Amino acid sequence: MAQHLSEIKIENELLQDLLGLTRAGLTDTVRNLGAPEIHAKTLFRRIYKDLSINPWSEPTLPLRLVAVMQDKFAVRLPQIKVAHRSAYDQSMKFLVGLGDGREVEAVLMPEKARLTLCLSSQVGCAQGCVFCHTGRMGLVRQLSVAEIVGQVMLAEHWLREHPEWLESTRLAPGTRISNIVFMGMGEPLDNVEAVIDALSILTDPYGLALGMAHISVSTAGHLVGIDRLYDAHPKARLALSVHSPDESKRSRIMPINRRWPLTDVIGRLRERIGESGPPVMMQYTMIAGVNDSDADASALAALTVGLNAKINLIPLNNVEPSRLSAPPPERIQAFRDVLHQAGIRVMVRYSKGQDIAAACGQLVAFAKKPSAAELG
Ligand code: SF4
């Protein structure tokens, strides 16, 4: 008798997903199945390098292991529900459907020789930054390791199926994702254990083999998460959202600052990594009349002392119906000059994917403009 679709679905859900396993986890799994550990490397390579969803279809694997794998395991990718292409810069925004019907967003951004994927770490976010719509959703749930890594694999599979998109960019045929930024939905360090395992998988030489220097983990300043991340991955790269060097103003726009003031976060970074450690990217969204004065620039410069810091100035994306706007070009230039004269590496960056609301803090677009009181 033919099997009913819902039975197949339930069976599929009972299968263990290989995608969330680090190579150490996969090695344990293979060993527990009574097979030599060496086969974990083969399976890992098949999943991540060869993009196979049946990684056991490999002649070098023992037949007994293949049979158990087929029976008990799966490689389950999340689904692309909508793929939207930006006419502005060719970024691709994916609405990603998760197993429980929830959705997150991931954005693929071509840039010179790089192909960067911006991915999500949570459904929603508990931090409630006033300029960010994701924050207004509150935290719905954490993403699993498989769901985080799954966004990368989903984009890799999409790339393989859409060579015409690569052709339309200036990237060479066959280009794969070279950089990852955890700047989509969620505060990654609020889900730090999953992010730690995801980094282990993404940087594994038997898999995607991305360099740690090519992955940025953003944070609004989660002190406990920072400690945990550097304990696990001392070379991890952080992108710290500063947005205001003034504690009271920052507390109004980023409530996390009330729990972990910026001064404490910067102090901890100086202790943990100092000037000789991995670079810290300070993200600074520039908002006209709010945080764009020369005094703000000098205070921002002071934060970089004792760190290997770079600063990204990001003129605010003007998204309706917000009345907030980016400063005029000459103000951005003057602000940049103050930092430059202080010897700081600073770049003005315009967010990619502006017309598809894919820039940081816009993943679900602004729903309500922050009030003047919120912004101080
Ligand atoms: S900016 Fe980041 S940390 Fe703040 S609410 Fe949005 S997603 Fe959360």
Domain range summary for the chain, segments of one domain joined by +? 5-74, 79-375
Q: Is 128 in the pocket of ligand 1 (CB under 6 A)?
A: yes
Which pLDDT score is estimated for 134? 84
pLDDT score, position 349: 85
Task: Return d(Cα 3, Cα 22) in angstroms, integer.
Answer: 33
Give the phi and the psi of residue 106 in degrees, each rounded to 5.
Answer: -135, 145
Amino acid in the structure at residue 114: R
Q: How many CB atoms lie within 10 A of CB 200?
A: 19
Tell me, in angstroms, the distance from the centre of ligand 1 to residue 154's CA: 24
Ligand 1 within 6 A of CB of 220: yes
> Is the fold of 5-74 the same as that of 79-375?
no
Superfamily in which the 79-375 domain is placed by CATH: Aldolase class I (3.20.20.70)
360 is catalytic: yes
Q: Rounded distance, CA 293 to CA 138, Å?
A: 32
The residues, any chain, with a CB within 8 Å of residue 311's CB and separated by 6 or more, are: 281, 282, 284, 300, 304, 339, 344, 345, 346, 347
Closest ligand 1 atom, CA of 220?
3
Report yes or no: 207 and 240 within 8 Å, Cβ to Cβ.
no
Q: What is the pLDDT of residue 8?
A: 43
105, 147, 156, 187: which one is catalytic?
105
Assess contact for 240 and 282: CB atoms under 8 A: yes
**Which of the following is catalytic: 118, 125, 129, 360?**
360
Q: How many helices (H) and strands (E) does the chain have?
A: 15, 14
Element (H, E) at 215: strand 215-219
Which atom of ligand 1 lies at the shortest distance from residue 190's CA?
3
Where would I find the H helices in the chain?
5-14, 23-32, 38-48, 63-72, 133-137, 145-161, 163-168, 192-203, 223-232, 247-253, 256-259, 262-272, 294-303, 329-341, 372-375
DSSP, res 326: P
Minimum-distance ligand 1 atom for the alpha carbon of 128: 5
CATH label, 5-74, candidates 1.10.150.530, 2.60.15.10, 3.40.640.10, 1.10.150.20? 1.10.150.530
Q: Using CA atoms, how far apart are residues 148 and 146, in angstroms rounded to an integer?
A: 5
Cβ atoms of residues 221 and 199 within 8 Å:
no
Is the distance from the beta carbon of residue 189 to the nearest atom of ligand 1 less than 6 Å?
no
Helix (H) / strand (E) containing 342: none
Angle (CA) 321-323-329 rounded to 5° is 120
* Cα 131 to middle of ligand 1, angstroms: 8
CA atoms within 13 A on the CB side of 347: 9
Looking up tokens 């030599």, which residue turns up? 36
Per-10-residue mean pLDDT of the chain, 376 residues long, equals 46 78 96 94 96 92 94 94 88 94 94 92 92 86 97 96 92 94 95 98 96 96 98 97 94 94 98 95 91 96 96 79 81 97 92 53 40 41
Q: Is 337 helix (H, G, I), strand (E, B) or coil?
A: helix
**Of 85, 162, 376, 131, which is closest to residue 252 (Cα–Cα)?**
376
Distance CA(159)–CA(154), nearest Å, equals 9
Q: Which atom of ligand 1 is nearest to the CA of 132?
A: 6
- Identify the pLDDT of residue 10: 46
Ligand 1 touching residue 135 (CB < 6 A) = yes
Q: How far apart are CA 261 and CA 166, in angstroms?
A: 43
Say yes or no: CB of residue 129 within 6 Å of ligand 1: yes
DSSP 240: E
3-class secondary-structure state, position 260: coil
Q: Could you check whether the bond before residue 321 is cis, i.e. omega within 30 degrees of 0?
A: yes
The predicted pLDDT at position 11 comes to: 52
Write the DSSP string, 151-183.
HHHHHHHHHHH-HHHHHHTTSPTT----EEEE-
Ligand 1 centroid, distance to 68 Cα (angstroms) = 42
Q: Is 105 a catalytic residue?
A: yes
**For residue 103, what is the DSSP state?**
E
SS3 readout for 354-373: HHHCCCCCCCCCCCCCCCHH
Question: Does the CB atom of residue 125 touch ligand 1 within 6 A?
Answer: yes
CA of 161 to the centre of ligand 1 (A): 32
Taking the C-alpha atoms of residue 168 and residue 334, their distance in angstroms, rounded to an integer, is 36
